[in-house]
Amino acid sequence: MKQVIDPGSVIGVLGSGQLGRMFAVAARQMGYQVHVFSPDYDTPAGQVADLEIQSDYQDLDRVARFASSVDVVTFEFENIPVSTIETACQHVLVHPAGKVLYTTRNRLREKEFLRGIGLPVTPFAPVRSLADVEQAVEVTGLPAVLKTASWGYDGKGQSRVSTVEEVRRAWQALESQEAVLERLVEFAAEISVVAVRSSNGQCACYEPIRNVHRHHILDISSSPAELPLQTEAAAMDMAHAVMVGLDVIGVLCVEFFLTQDGSLLINELAPRPHNSGHLTVDAHVTSQFEQQVRAVCGFPPGSTARLQPAAMVNLMGDLWSHRRPAWSRVLDFPDVKLHLYGKRTARSGRKMGHLTALGRSAQEAIDVAGDARNLLIKAD
């Protein structure tokens, strides 16, 4: 199979949400055609792709035809069935490889991998039955957080627990799913490092991004993170080790807890562009989405240099709860960029878009982005 995929070729994307949309924009800007495959129609990615194919991921005959019609396949989220990836691999290059998705889509496998290569993670233990609860608590201590091992994101499938009985009840509420119990970390900050690795092993990392969550969903990201230089270097070194250890070809985000004593613990991995990296579109030489295009098509990483301090704020469906947001007020800000995802229906907790603000400092950008978002919902 050809390792370098030149512009003019066709990139296939499994998944069709906002990450696929921003990837497709970057790919088409570089001269590629983009075909997206998902069970949905009129999707964020489908609206800007050259071709949108609506089909179930388990329709393996359709997957095979899709893979045979493109020059390389990538994916925009983790929850693609393994059989889908395996089928695509029989016909075309797939980046990142299925083994990357297999590891990162399950929190237990992910944490065991990280621990196995010597990287720091929160103390954890598996919970697969009520009989596992007491032993798991002995490992993690309390309070702790019980999480589904698979299919969880944006705080879904998670419960904070303070007693053994609460752990039992939380596990039963998961309806007998495999779970992981993690020690509750009282962190000083949450940061992320977005990294890219090419097929010849070249790796590049963006500087750490500082993140603030609201209701378990990312609310604000800012760069620079304004951390001690040794902390930033350690985070980037760990992200590099993850990329090499997993043999990733593509983009991957490493989410960290920065503890009160200044140490780093890896919280989660995302084997794709990440919400916190959206600000790279406006604030860096190369966006995380162009990096994904470069990597999966066999080219070296672009520069990760930051051009200006920036902050991103998510626009959730709640902003639409009373009326259409006042977009003109946002566009009155000369240093604010509006990104909407083309989703037809707004729901509470649904990511509908984001704003990125540029400033002379990260705090100035945070303030400007927050002010712009607040004006969206102010009454006339």
Do the strands 187-197 and 203-205 form a parallel or antiparallel pair, or are they unpaired? Answer: antiparallel
**Backbone region of residue 214 per phi and psi (left: phi > 0; alpha: psi in -120 to 50; beta: other values):** beta
Secondary structure element (H or E) that encloses residue 183, with its range: strand 179-183
The DSSP output letter for 232 is H
pLDDT digits (tens, 9 = 90+) for 226-283: 999 999 999 999 999 999 999 999 999 999 999 999 999 999 999 999 999 999 999 9
323 band by pLDDT with thresholds 50, 70 and 90: confident
Predicted pLDDT of residue 175? 75
Give the mean pLDDT of 19-29: 98
Contacts of 80 (CB under 8 A, 6+ apart): 14, 15, 57, 101
Is residue 192 a contact partner of residue 209, using CB atoms and an 8 Å limit?
yes
pLDDT digits (tens, 9 = 90+) for 164-178: 999 999 999 987 679
pLDDT digits (tens, 9 = 90+) for 25-84: 999 999 999 999 999 999 999 999 999 999 999 999 999 999 999 999 999 988 899 899
pLDDT exceeds 80 at position 151: no
321 band by pLDDT with thresholds 50, 70 and 90: confident
pTM beyond 0.75, yes or no: yes
Predicted pLDDT of residue 39? 97
Is residue 71 a contact partner of residue 1, using CB atoms and an 8 Å limit?
no
Give the mean pLDDT of 180-194: 96
Token representation of residue 101:
């998705």
Helices (H), the chain: 18-29, 60-68, 82-89, 98-104, 107-116, 133-140, 164-173, 229-246, 280-283, 288-296, 327-331, 362-376
The closest of 63, 56, 74 to 10, measured between CA atoms, is 74
pLDDT exceeds 80 at position 159: yes
Cis check: omega of the bond before 96, within 30 degrees of 0: yes
State the Cα–Cα distance between residues 362 and 207, nearest whole angstrom.
13
State the Cα–Cα distance between residues 55 and 38, nearest whole angstrom.
6
CA dihedral 362→368→369→371, nearest 10 degrees, is 140
Report the chain's mean pLDDT, rounded to a whole number: 95
Q: How many CA atoms lie within 13 A of 278 on its CB side?
A: 28
User: Contacts for 46-49 with beta carbons within 8 Å, 24 or more apart?
Assistant: 46/16, 47/21, 47/342, 48/21, 48/24, 48/342, 49/13, 49/16, 49/20, 49/24
pLDDT exceeds 80 at position 153: no
Is residue 316 a contact partner of residue 217, using CB atoms and an 8 Å limit?
yes
301 band by pLDDT with thresholds 50, 70 and 90: very high
Q: Which domains are present in the chain? A: 10-94 (3.40.50.20), 123-183 (3.30.1490.20), 187-376 (3.30.470.20)
pLDDT exceeds 80 at position 373: yes
Buried b (16+ CB within 10 A) or exposed e, 291-312: bbbbbbbbbebbebebeebbbb
The closest of 286, 320, 275, 251 to 104, measured between CA atoms, is 251
State the Cα–Cα distance between residues 132 and 138, nearest whole angstrom.
10
State the Cα–Cα distance between residues 224 and 64, nearest whole angstrom.
43
- With DSSP H G I counted as helix, E B as strand and the rest as coil, what are the percentages for the chain, rounded to 5? 35, 30, 40
Q: How far is CA 275 from CA 210, 222, 235, 255, 356, in A?
A: 12, 12, 18, 11, 12
Q: What are phi and psi of 218, to 5 degrees?
A: -55, 130
Predicted pLDDT of residue 208? 98
